[in-house]
Amino acid sequence: MTTPKIRNGLCLEVNPEGCERNTRAQIHKTHAQTNADKNVYAPLKSVLVLGASGGYGLASRIIAAFGYHAQTLGVSFEREPEPGRDGTPGWYNNLAFDAEAKAANLKSATLNADAFSNATRELVARCVGALPASTCHEFLPFDLVVYSLASPVRTDPETGETYRSAIKPIGNAHTATTVDFVTGAMKSVTIPPATDDEIRATIKVMGGEDWLLWMRFLRDRNLLADNAKTVAFSYIGPACTQGIYRHGTLGKAKEDLEATAALIARETQTAAFVSINKALVTRASAVIPAMPPYIAALYKVMKAKGLHEGCLEQAARLFRERLYTADGVVPVDAQGRIRLDDWEMRDDVQSETMELLAAMTSENAFSTTDLEGYKNDFFALHGF
């Protein structure tokens, strides 16, 4: 495989066929699991996925559609291909999903639109058959709303002000060790502390405000089914990542997201949850110092123990063992959060991961950790 161009942790190329192939592989895996497990079904008819084109959003949509036979409406904002320029990976993921859903006679539609805008909310409303102006496949009111937006930029629909998130520590500069997952070279990176404006902007982009706006809108338009649920995604992680993650601007945004779940439940009478998921290779985690070496070490330990999960496996466990249990009870921690990071945070997993991190150098990064697995997962996000 020719190594795609990488700059500052970002992949500058896309393999369209590879993106579609990877999405189809996840769908076929879910088909096989569904056929093998007759207990996978739940009373799930209609699902809205906000941020449906990759990661946990795409995985949740696949599980809902091909595991539970639900109709799914996906929203994501992707760049279309044009002469001489490929589209974004999510564009091709969505194409593959809709094609497979059509072949399986599953109702699906994908809106390529800015999920932060009021105009997109109106588009979603017009897709629900309960409304006189329905124009988009006439979806049923939603049993489940999956909120999985990961954009670094958001424009407030009320004020028109645009905010950009910043991945920075709070209070003091933070020094972390990161790794070039192509070469294995390790280096120390120091990140200056965020300003108050950067903290506020990150919360505006990645916190719970937009999730709340969506749930209020869906409630006010009667677009939620009886006993509807909604879930958003978050992360906590170990001490070695918290200086730049949980104790930084991202952590403030995630705290706001988690607090919003309780507000949504009170205001909309909808069961609202934040799922704390495991560390995985994503387009976002690749640019967060400390995350690549930690994930590479974690992968080696969890794979050796038979505990490793990707987005699809995490989503399957979220549906089967958390949101839709046999007794109807959603197991949560003391703060009301779903914990899908439970295997990652096991004492034995963490102690062994820290041992590998301590031994990791530029010379042995690939042999000490699963940096090769990290690299493969990163390239797979772009179809390579």
pLDDT tens-place string over residues 38-85: 555 567 999 999 999 999 999 999 999 999 999 999 999 999 999 989
Residue 213 CA to residue 77 CA, distance in Å, equals 18
CA triple 195-198-177, angle to 5 deg: 80
List the structure tokens of 378: 């990163």
Instruction: Report pLDDT digits (tens) over 275-313.
Output: 999 999 987 788 888 999 999 999 999 999 999 999 999
- DSSP three-state, residue 233: strand
Instruction: Assign a CATH topology to domain 17-169+195-287+307-343.
Output: Rossmann fold (3.40.50)
Q: What average pLDDT score do residues 188-215 get?
A: 97
For every residue of 316-350, DSSP letters joined together read HHHIIIIIT-TTS-----TTS-EES-TTTT-HHHH
Q: What average pLDDT score do residues 323-335 get?
A: 94
Instruction: Report pLDDT digits (tens) over 110-132.
Output: 999 999 999 999 999 999 975 55
Q: What average pLDDT score do residues 220-247 get?
A: 95
Q: For residue 326, name the pLDDT band (cuts at 50, 70, 90).
A: confident
Q: For residue 137, name the pLDDT band (cuts at 50, 70, 90).
A: low
pTM of the model: 0.95
Supply the pLDDT for residue 4.
84
Instruction: Report pLDDT digits (tens) over 235-277.
Output: 999 999 999 999 999 999 999 999 999 999 999 999 999 999 9
Residue 15 CA to residue 22 CA, distance in Å, equals 11
Supply the pLDDT for residue 67.
93
Handedness of CA 108, 80, 152, 213 (dihedral sign): negative
Supply the pLDDT for residue 75.
98
User: How many Cβ atoms are within 10 Å of 378's Cβ, its own excluded?
Assistant: 23
List the structure tokens of 257: 């997201």
- Going by C-beta distance under 8 Å and a sequence separation of 6 or more, which residues neighbour residue 116? 149, 151, 154, 155, 157, 210
Supply the pLDDT for residue 3.
73
Mean pLDDT of the chain: 93
- Going by C-beta distance under 8 Å and a sequence separation of 6 or more, which residues neighbour residue 225? 45, 46, 140, 141, 142, 143
Supply the pLDDT for residue 41.
53
Alpha helix stretches (DSSP H) within the chain? 16-36, 55-62, 68, 89-103, 118-125, 196-206, 209-220, 239-242, 249-268, 291-304, 311-318, 347-359, 365-368, 371-380
Indicate whether 133 pLDDT > 60.
no
Supply the pLDDT for residue 284.
78
- Residues of the chain with pLDDT > 90: what percent? 87
Indicate whether 320 pLDDT > 60.
yes
User: Annotated active-site positions, please?
Assistant: 245
Supply the pLDDT for residue 38.
54
Q: What average pLDDT score do residues 336-346 get?
A: 98
User: How many Cβ atoms are within 10 Å of 6's Cβ, its own excluded?
Assistant: 18
Residue 60 CA to residue 49 CA, distance in Å, equals 8
Mode of pairing for the β-strands spanning 174-179 and 162-164: unpaired
Q: What average pLDDT score do residues 365-376 get?
A: 97
- Residues of the chain with pLDDT > 70: what percent? 95
Q: For residue 142, name the pLDDT band (cuts at 50, 70, 90).
A: very high
Count CA atoms closer than 13 A to 315's CA, side-chain side: 29
DSSP character at residue 194:
P
Supply the pLDDT for residue 132.
53
- DSSP three-state, residue 51: coil
